[in-house]
Structure 1
Amino acid sequence: MIEVQGLTKRYGTRTVVDSLDFTVGAGAVTGFLGPNGAGKSTTMRMILGLDTPTRGRATVRGRAYARHTAPLTEAGALLEARSLHPGRSAYHHLMALAHTHGIPSSRVRHVLDLAGLTEVAHRRVKGFSLGMGQRLGIAGALLGDPGTLILDEPVNGLDPEGVLWIRNLLRSLAAEGRTVLVSSHLMSEMALTADHLVVIGRGRLLADTTMAEFVRSSGADSVRVVTPEADRLAGLLAIPGVRVASTARGALDVHGVESEHIGRTAAAHGIALHELTPRTASLEQAFMDLTHGSVEYRTASPEGAAA
């Protein structure tokens, strides 16, 4: 597992990561989320020993990453996919990494095939597209057959087939009992991939919970109701903890009560319902609600931009 304890990073007077505590367990895909500038990349760099914490510690399988005798076999990482020598081929880039750990060339060929790069294995990487570079970076992360994967924006630049490939790959690796920590700004993809979430904002921990609990606890679930007696039903549902909004003529958006209660209330008072549809909050909506106070870079509304 990955353990982060009191992890803090300051640059002068600026605190980028502030007393983070969380654990990434094996057998699940953990999504690492946060707005731009939240400290996700810095945290990943400290886990991998690329940045030195101001305070606290981060360990992989009980020890600092740099203290493992064969770190590539403990944790594979993708932080900067284009951190490659442009004159090397994909094959020779991976072979250079393999030589540092005594990894055989057969493993290099295996990960090239796994990443769909066999046909371009001997092309210089300076001619690779962004998506091909991502695939090569993922191949490098898998080279040592590690028990832990740490990936920063792994679907960046991938086509739909590549996105599906990485989603299935991460879930299959977690199913094998490996530890998978992955950051992404694509909420729709995280909703399909992650089992657990660690959310940070301005360097501080905001949530450490399962995907299902995170979305449920956002309180954004609602029920759409369509009835010819919308005003009357809204009055009957107006109790403490319930919020009813009229979204269109004859349509209500009800928060704080389940559809079964609405149906029973309508039936008890002879109110006909034309629609009664539970709506589950999206990960994107729950994330935006939680992090709205932690956004470092705010954009103008389209109306404001036009003005």
Structure 2
Amino acid sequence: MIRAENLTKRYGDTTVVQDLSFTVRPGTVTGFLGPNGAGKSTTLRMILGLDAPTRGHATVDGRPYAGHSAPLTKVGALLEARSLHPGRSAYHHLMALAHTHGIPHTRVDRVLALTGLTHVARKRVKGFSLGMGQRLGIAAALLGDPATVVLDEPVNGLDPEGVLWIRTLLKSLAAEGRTVLVSSHLMSEMALTADHLIVIGKGRLLADTTVDELVRASGGASVKVVTPEADRLRHLLPDARFTTEAPDTLLVTGLEASEIGRAAAAHAIPLHELTPQAASLEQAFMDLTRDSVEYQGAPA
């Protein structure tokens, strides 16, 4: 279990993380989300003892990370996949880590196989692609068979097969009762992978909830309506909000499909399609963090 209590980090006059408290529980995949500059990386570094909080504290299984006698066997982490010696092979990189904790070479072989790197284990990592580097970083995180896994943007550089692999891996780790905290900017992937979400913006907690609850609370569900009399139907639904996808296609928000259907039937408006559209995690995230975005582009 990871517990953050009133975490605050200041650099001079700039507050990067402000009074941040949350708990990451075992048995679930917890997504850690936020716009660029939200303080996610700083928070992860404080959890892992790489940055000292200005105030507050973070613990893993009741202790600060540095308080564990063999931290690699308690917490496996991937923050920067390319932080390794380019002249070493994947095998020797992992063996160097294993020697620091008395981890047997059989475990090195195991994580190389688990991450699909056995066939390149003796190659120097300077020749690795971004995706292969990510796999090696994940192998290092899992080397100590830890009960807690912290991964920062683990799908960067992975091809579709690799993305599916990491999704399956994270779910299986959680199913084994491990604590899994993963940050990502890919909302579609988080929607498929995470059970719980912690969302921050400008260093503050915005949401600590499940994926379903966040999407439902956003109120972003809509109804796709296809009709040759779209303009006429629009005037009959003054309480709804509309997005026009095509001259005959509307996305209607604020009304149920049944209400739209009844209004259309009452005025003999033909409907070629009337389909409820589920709200997306991406839209819910955008709505929640709209006021916390550091850089916002102007409309095209």
* 8 Å CA contact retained: 1:237, 1:244: no
> Separation in 2 of the partners of 1:43 and 1:262?
46
The answer to whether the aligner puts 1:281 opposite 2:279 as a matched pair is yes
> Separation in 2 of the partners of 1:233 and 1:36?
40
> Separation in 1 of the partners of 2:3 and 2:65?
11
Q: How does 1:93-104 map to 2 (within 5 A)?
A: 93-104=93-104
Letter in structure 2 aligned against 1:31: G
Match of 1:120 in 2: 120
> Separation in 2 of the partners of 1:299 and 1:243?
24
* 8 Å CA contact retained: 1:238, 1:244: no
- How far the C-alpha of 1:231 sits from its partner, in A, is 5.1
Letter in structure 1 aligned against 2:261: G
- How far the C-alpha of 1:249 sits from its partner, in A, is 4.0
> Separation in 1 of the partners of 2:127 and 2:269?
66
> Separation in 2 of the partners of 1:204 and 1:157?
29
> Separation in 1 of the partners of 2:214 and 2:17?
22
Match of 1:299 in 2: 297
Match of 1:40 in 2: 40
> Separation in 2 of the partners of 1:226 and 1:131?
42
Letter in structure 2 aligned against 1:288: M
Letter in structure 2 aligned against 1:60: V
> Separation in 2 of the partners of 1:57 and 1:237?
52
> Separation in 1 of the partners of 2:121 and 2:282?
37
- How far the C-alpha of 1:269 sits from its partner, in A, is 5.3
> Separation in 1 of the partners of 2:249 and 2:157?
41
Match of 1:243 in 2: 241
Partner of 2:76, secondary structure, is strand
Letter in structure 1 aligned against 2:131: G
Q: How does 1:264-279 map to 2 (within 5 A)?
A: 264-267=262-265, 270-279=268-277
Match of 2:251 in 1: 253
Partner of 1:5, secondary structure, is strand
- How far the C-alpha of 1:154 sits from its partner, in A, is 0.6
Deviation string for 1:154-185 (max 9, x for gaps)?
11111222111111101111111111111111
Match of 2:90 in 1: 90
The answer to whether the aligner puts 1:81 opposite 2:81 as a matched pair is yes
Letter in structure 2 aligned against 1:256: G
Match of 1:30 in 2: 30
Partner of 2:101, secondary structure, is coil
Deviation string for 1:29-53 (max 9, x for gaps)?
1111111111101100000111000
Partner of 1:100, secondary structure, is helix
> Separation in 2 of the partners of 1:274 and 1:67?
64
Q: 1:132 to 1:228 in 2, by over 3 A?
A: closer
Could you tell me which runs of 5 or more consecutive residues in structure 2 were left unpaired when the two chains were aligned.
Answer: none
> Separation in 2 of the partners of 1:157 and 1:228?
44
Q: How does 1:39-78 map to 2 (within 5 A)?
A: 39-78=39-78
> Separation in 1 of the partners of 2:229 and 2:162?
50
Deviation string for 1:13-40 (max 9, x for gaps)?
1001111111111111111111111110
Match of 1:174 in 2: 174
Between the two proteins, the alignment pairs up a number of residues equal to: 300
* 8 Å CA contact retained: 1:76, 1:140: yes
Instruction: Pick which of 156-165 and 8-17 moved more.
Output: 156-165
> Separation in 2 of the partners of 1:202 and 1:295?
8
> Separation in 2 of the partners of 1:280 and 1:181?
26
> Separation in 2 of the partners of 1:245 and 1:41?
36
Could you tell me which runs of 5 or more consecutive residues in structure 1 were left unpaired when the two chains were aligned.
Answer: none
Deviation string for 1:101-141 (max 9, x for gaps)?
11111001000111111111112222222111111110000
Match of 1:106 in 2: 106
Instruction: Pick which of 254-263 and 217-226 moved more.
Output: 254-263
Q: How does 1:187-202 map to 2 (within 5 A)?
A: 187-202=187-202
Deviation string for 1:182-213 (max 9, x for gaps)?
11112222222111111111111111111111
Partner of 1:81, secondary structure, is coil
Pairwise CA RMSD: 1.9
Instruction: Pick which of 9-18 and 127-136 moved more.
Output: 127-136
TM-score for both structures, normalised by structure 2: 0.93
The answer to whether the aligner puts 1:165 opposite 2:135 as a matched pair is no
Partner of 1:112, secondary structure, is helix
Partner of 1:182, secondary structure, is strand
> Separation in 2 of the partners of 1:89 and 1:143?
16
Instruction: Pick which of 218-227 and 50-59 moved more.
Output: 218-227
